Amino acid sequence: MKISLELTERDALLVHVLFIVICAIVLLIPMPLLIGPRLFLLVIIYNVIVPVVGWWRNHSDWLNLWLFVFILSLLMVFPDWFLADPLGILVFVPDGFPQIGPVSGYMLLLWAIPLFIISFIGFRVSARHSLPVAYGAVALTSFLLFVGAEAGLTFVWQAQNVVMIGSVAVYIIFPEIILGLSTFWMFQYLNTKPHWWKIIGAFFIMLLYIGSACFFHLLINRIVFGL
């Protein structure tokens, strides 16, 4: 099944190049802000630019996709919270921004960034090739983005008491690939549904992520390596 979405590659490229430039400015230029408030500013900027461009360029499916991953991002605080406490295998580094339980507050919006990119790439690959190829692209993009985040954002969160490759927790790679695939799959079904369906779909994906994280934690860290 071909998926036809009003998602313009040029617009997406320009938005993300602009966001990368903004990230470099906010993170690298000296200013009287700790890293936490800077990251909060960046996730706010991203979650404003994307829907504004979608509205301005009349990309209705772009807006629908952003709204879905935005709702899902809000719910992802629960898996992060569960991994940090009570499991105690994830620690959020104090960075000057208020926390929700043990989770840095800006995480409410941060998940929307990779999930939008992953699904966007999936839909464009599907339009150019086929749905099976798109699922392969989604899995690969999920792996690259999430492993890159696990390796590069150690000043935000750190895994502990689990099997590691460098700074990357091995067990979480599989749930994060499942997260990317399930987000892409679910939005295909929800795109033409009323918006309140997005809340239900996002809730089920959040539960799937918690379940898969627990399963692979048990399998890899406890059963295989006996930690």
pLDDT at 191 over 90: no
- Measured between alpha carbons, how far is 166 from 169 in angstroms, rounded to an integer? 8
Q: Does residue 132 lie in a domain region?
A: yes
- pLDDT attached to residue 127: 86
Q: Does residue 77 lie in a domain region?
A: yes
Q: Does residue 128 lie in a domain region?
A: yes
Specify the amino acid at residue 15: V
Least confident of 33-37, 77-81, 190-194: 190-194
Q: Does residue 102 lie in a domain region?
A: yes
User: Residues 93-112: pLDDT tens digits?
Assistant: 999 999 999 999 999 999 99
Bridging pattern class, strands 157-159 and 90-92: antiparallel
- pLDDT attached to residue 18: 96
Question: Which structural domain, as residue segments, surrounds residue 126?
Answer: 9-224
- Measured between alpha carbons, how far is 117 from 224 in angstroms, rounded to an integer? 33
- pLDDT attached to residue 15: 95
Q: Does residue 146 lie in a domain region?
A: yes
Contact assessment for residue 125 and residue 137, using Cβ atoms and an 8 Å cutoff: yes
pLDDT-based confidence at residue 172 (cuts at 50, 70, 90): very high
Which DSSP category does 154 fall into?
Answer: T
pLDDT at 1 over 60: no
Neighbours of 11 (CB within 10 A): 16
Q: Does residue 1 lie in a domain region?
A: no
Distances (CA, A) of 89 to 172, 208, 213: 11, 18, 11
pTM of the model as a whole: 0.94
Sign of the torsion formed by the C-alpha atoms of 198, 58, 138 and 157: negative
Give the residue from 178, 169, 175, 44 showing the smallest Cα distance to 107: 44
How would you classify residue 226: left for phi > 0, otherwise alpha for psi between -120 and 50, otherwise beta? left
pLDDT at 174 over 80: yes
H-only helix segments in 76-111: 77-84, 107-110
pLDDT-based confidence at residue 32 (cuts at 50, 70, 90): confident
- Domain count of the fold of the chain: 1
Contact assessment for residue 39 and residue 152, using Cβ atoms and an 8 Å cutoff: no
* Residue 54 burial (C-beta neighbours within 10 Å; 0-12, 13-18, 19+): buried
**Average pLDDT for residues 134-158, to the nearest whole number?**
96
- pLDDT attached to residue 168: 97
What percent of the chain is modeled with pLDDT above 70? 97
Q: Does residue 192 lie in a domain region?
A: yes
Helix (H, G, I), strand (E, B) or coil at 103: strand
pLDDT-based confidence at residue 227 (cuts at 50, 70, 90): confident
- pLDDT attached to residue 7: 55
Average pLDDT, the chain: 93
**Average pLDDT for residues 66-80, to the nearest whole number?**
98
Q: Does residue 2 lie in a domain region?
A: no
